[in-house]
């Protein structure tokens, strides 16, 4: 196994990744795909539940969670929406519980020697305590942006292959990708589900036209929450994160501003 070879070579175990970015672009999906790809067990940490219950229990629960992950190692520990859990850690009025839990976690993250690969996801990067973003916590921070036209076509293809494996050829994938600027992967999936409703209600299979009709009813988040999306893009461009795909790197400079204006 690659991990073992790397250890023999003298490399430390990888710590993990932070995936930051726009809603619905596949961050959670990526966490699951990593575990699947590596054939490792996936543990999903619900940070909200660390804080539930009696005062004082949160810290012991955090330590138990760490012990459990280490006992199951090698494994992937998925911390979804880490920004929601640890936003504004210092300013919280909970007698320091959040900040102690956070401290325990962040210390473990930087000191751990066990093969627990942490995959954390976040939407609102600005609200994360700066310690999370410091070097040595995660191996890499990736910005997951909106898919460009080529990537949208690939996403349509993935979902239609799953939904209509026999009938894939009847869909105009390049037109679908062209007509859905600003759509995230989740919005593409939503358009497909709505197109299926249209087809189903008329007792026939759904068509490219149905998908386009359904898409025209969806206002992508990139437009409805333009300010939030632009702030994230600015953050990504400031060089604090690596871009998750080369394609988005190219489009980032030349097209994204345009895309956000609604034309591509
Ligand atoms: N790159 C992609 N390829 C294929 N499908 C995608 C992609 N991105 C998103 N999707 C579809 O959208 C769904 C939602 O994606 P996911 O939950 O991973 O997004 P997310 O980035 O975690 O969003 P959020 O920030 O709202 O948690 C996925 O289950 C998948 O069906
Ligand atoms: Mg998610």
**What mean pLDDT value characterizes the chain?**
85
Average pLDDT rounded to a whole number, residues 135-161: 92
Q: For residue range 221-234, what is the model confidence (pLDDT) as tens digits?
A: 988 888 888 888 88
Domain extent listing, the chain = 2-144, 149-221
Q: Tell me, yes or no, if the two domains 2-144 and 149-221 fold the same way.
A: no
Please tell me the predicted confidence (pLDDT) of residue 248: 46
pTM, rounded to two decimals: 0.83
User: In this predicted structure, which of 64-68, 214-218, 223-227 has the lowest mean pLDDT?
Assistant: 223-227
* CATH numeric code, 149-221: 1.10.8.60
Kindly list the distances between the CA atom of residue 124 and the CA atoms of 18, 20, 140, 229, in Å, as whole numbers in the listed order: 12, 8, 17, 10
Please tell me the predicted confidence (pLDDT) of residue 92: 63
HSE of 133, CA atoms in CB hemisphere, 13 A = 19
Find the 121 Cα to ligand 2 centroid distance in Å.
7
Q: Does 186 sit in the ligand 1 pocket, CB within 6 Å?
A: yes
Site to probe by mutation for ligand 1, drawn from 29, 44, 154 as the one with most ligand atoms within 8 Å of Cβ, is 29
Q: Does 185 sit in the ligand 1 pocket, CB within 6 Å?
A: yes
Please tell me the predicted confidence (pLDDT) of residue 93: 63
Q: For residue range 2-43, what is the model confidence (pLDDT) as tens digits?
A: 677 887 888 888 889 999 988 999 999 999 999 999 999 999
pLDDT band (50, 70, 90) for residue 255: very low
Query: Quick check: 243 pLDDT over 80?
Result: no
CATH architecture for segment(s) 2-144 = 3-Layer(aba) Sandwich (3.40)
Between 139 and 177, residue with greater pLDDT? 177
């Amino acid at each position: 196994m690659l991990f073992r070879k790397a250890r023999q070579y003298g490399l430390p175990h990888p710590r993990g990744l932070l995936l930051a970015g726009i809603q619905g672009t596949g961050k959670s999906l990526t966490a699951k795909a990593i575990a699947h790809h590596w054939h490792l067990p996936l543990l999903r940490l619900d940070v909200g539940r660390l804080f539930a219950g009696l005062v004082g229990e949160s810290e012991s629960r955090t330590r138990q969670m760490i012990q459990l992950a280490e006992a199951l190692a090698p494994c992937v520990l998925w911390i979804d929406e880490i920004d929601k859990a640890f936003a504004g850690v210092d300013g919280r009025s909970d007698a320091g519980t959040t900040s102690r839990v956070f401290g325990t976690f962040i210390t473990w993250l930087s000191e751990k020697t066990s093969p627990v690969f942490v995959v954390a996801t976040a939407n609102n990067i600005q609200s994360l305590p700066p310690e999370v973003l410091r070097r040595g916590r995660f191996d890499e921070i990736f910005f997951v942006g909106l898919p460009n036209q080529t990537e949208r076509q690939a996403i349509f293809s993935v979902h239609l292959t799953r939904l209509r494996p026999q009938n894939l050829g009847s869909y105009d994938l390049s037109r679908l990708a062209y007509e859905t600027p600003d759509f995230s992967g989740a919005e593409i999936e939503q358009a497909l589900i709505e197109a299926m409703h249209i087809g189903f209600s008329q007792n026939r299979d759904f068509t490219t036209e149905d998908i386009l009709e359904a898409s025209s009813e969806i206002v992508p988040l990139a437009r409805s929450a333009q300010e939030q999306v632009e702030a994230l893009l600015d953050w990504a461009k400031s060089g604090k994160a690596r871009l998750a795909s080369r394609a988005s790197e190219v489009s980032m400079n030349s097209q994204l501003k345009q895309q956000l204006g609604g034309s591509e």
